[in-house]
Structure 1
Amino acid sequence: MSGGMGGAVVEVGGEALLLLPEKAVFWPAQKMLVVADIHFGKAAAFRSLGVPVPRGTTSENLAGLDALVAAYDVRHIMFLGDFLHARASHAGSTQAAMLAWRRRQSGLRLTLVRGNHDLHAGDPAAALGIELVDEPHALGPFAFCHHPDLDIGRYALAGHIHPVYVLATRFDALRLPCFVVGKTRMILPSFGAFTGGHAIRPEAGDAIWVTSGEAVHCVR
C-alpha cells in the first residue's frame, strides 16, 4: 500500500509503519524515525588508514536526516546500532559537523541501540544528548535491536546486515537496498552514505521491499 512521497505502508506488530525510499522507517503513531547503520565517520576511519575515499559523507547523512525530520514532523529518532564506525570516527571534523547538526535539531529526542561497531568505537559525545540503550529495547509492540536474530517476544526492528536484493534479467542485474519484512522481524537497509550492502536470501514468509531512492516497491 502506498504511503505517499514514494513510501509504502506495512502493518506489523499491530501498527502501521511507513517504509521510506530514503532507507528509513517512520512510525506515525510515535512520530518516530527509525534508522539503521548510519556509520558516522566511516570515511574518516578509512582515511586515517591511508585509504583515499571521498569526503562529505557525514554531511550527506546529516542532510538526509534533516530532510526526513522536516518532511514527516519527526520528534524522535531511533538509531538501530552502528552510529559510529570506529574510534577514528571521533575525528574533529566529524564531531564538529554532528554537534552543529544537534544544535539545529535540539528539540529532537535521540536514542541509540548500541551495535557491534558502537562497542568498538565508543559512545557518542555526551554533548549530542543521545539516550544510550542496549538491545533489545522495548517500546510499544516493538523491540528495537541491532542484530536481527535475537530470540525475543516482540516484533523486532533491526539492522546490522545492510540488506540488498538483486533484481536480475538475462542480460543485467541490479542491487537495490531493501527492507526485509518477516512475521517476527523487519531488517532495515543501511542508512549510511558509505556503507555498502549484503545480498540476502529471503526466508520463507519474508516480503522484500526494494528502494530506488525515489520509491519503495514490493518485489517478493
Structure 2
Amino acid sequence: MNACELSIAGELLLLLPQKAIYWPRERTLIVADVHFGKAASFRTLGIPVPRGTTSENLHILDTLITSYDIEHIVFLGDFLHGPNPAVSTMLALSAWRVRHSRLVMTLVRGNHDLRAGDPPADLNFRIVDEPAVMQPFAFCHHPSVTTNAYVLAGHVHPAYRLSGRNESLRLPCFVFGAGRAILPSFGSFTGGYTITRQTDEQIFVVADDAVIAIGNSKTG
C-alpha cells in the first residue's frame, strides 16, 4: 500500500489508500464516516444491498492497526448510521473492541450520531462534540466549524472526477484547503459527493492501493 506523505500545520500526516489518515507523532489514526449498520438498515426496508460491509470495514481497521503504530483512533462522526442497529452489527463491533481494548477510541459526534445515539458503554469510547482540539488540529465532523486550529473533518464524502478524452472516472478523495481538510468516507457502503476543487485546495485521490496528488489543472 502506497501512503502519501503530507506536511500540514507543521505536522507530518500519512494519507492512506484505506481512506484514513495516520498522524505518526501522536500514533493516531483518523477515520471519517464509517456508518456502521447502514447496509443492514437498508435491508430492513426491503432494499437489496450487499452484506458483509461491517466485517469488511472492521477488517480494514484491523489491517491498519497491524500495519502502523497506533495508540488512538479518532472517528470524525457518523460512526453508527442510525438508531437500533442490527444485533449482528453490534456483536461484531463489541468483539472487535475487545480485540483492541488497549487502544483509546474517540468519537466526535456527527449528525448521524445525534440520531443514532452514542455507542453503547461496552465499546468504551470517549465521546466528544466538535471541535475536539488536539493541537494543531481540530477534529470535527462538519468542515464548516470555525476554530483557530486546522480542521480535519468528514461529512461530505468527497469524490473527484478525472476526465480523459473519451471516458471519466470518479474516485474518493482527500481535500486539503487553507484552514481545513475533508476526509473521504471510510465506510464501504456510503457513496460519495463529487466536488469541484477550489483555487486554494489540493486534491488527493484514492486509486486502488495508492493515494495520488492531482496536478494544478482543474478537472473538477
Provide TM-score, normalisation by structure 1.
0.96
- Displacement of 1:191 in angstroms is 0.3
Which residues of structure 2 form unaligned runs of 5+? 216-220
Which residues of structure 1 form unaligned runs of 5+? none
Partner of residue 108, structure 2: 113
- Please give the secondary structure, in 2, of the residue aligned with 1:87: coil
Partner of residue 87, structure 1: 83
- Displacement of 1:170 in angstroms is 2.2
Instruction: Name the count of aligned residue pairs.
Output: 215
Q: Structure 2 matches for 1:19-168, cutoff 5 A?
A: 19-89=15-85, 91-168=86-163
Partner of residue 167, structure 2: 172
Aligned identity (percent) is 57
Partner of residue 199, structure 1: 194
- Displacement of 1:175 in angstroms is 0.6
- Displacement of 1:12 in angstroms is 1.0
Could you list the structure 1 runs, at least 4 aligned residues long, displaced by more than 6 angstroms after superposition: none
- Displacement of 1:127 in angstroms is 0.2
Cα contact 1:44–1:88 (8 A) shared by 2? no
CA distance in 2, matches of 1:147, 1:42: 20
Cα contact 1:25–1:34 (8 A) shared by 2? yes
Provide TM-score, normalisation by structure 2.
0.96
CA distance in 2, matches of 1:134, 1:204: 30
- Displacement of 1:207 in angstroms is 0.4
CA RMSD of aligned residues (A): 0.8
CA distance in 2, matches of 1:145, 1:209: 20
List per-residue Cα deviations over 1:99-157 (Å, max 9, x = no partner).
01011111111000000000011111110000000000001210000000111111000
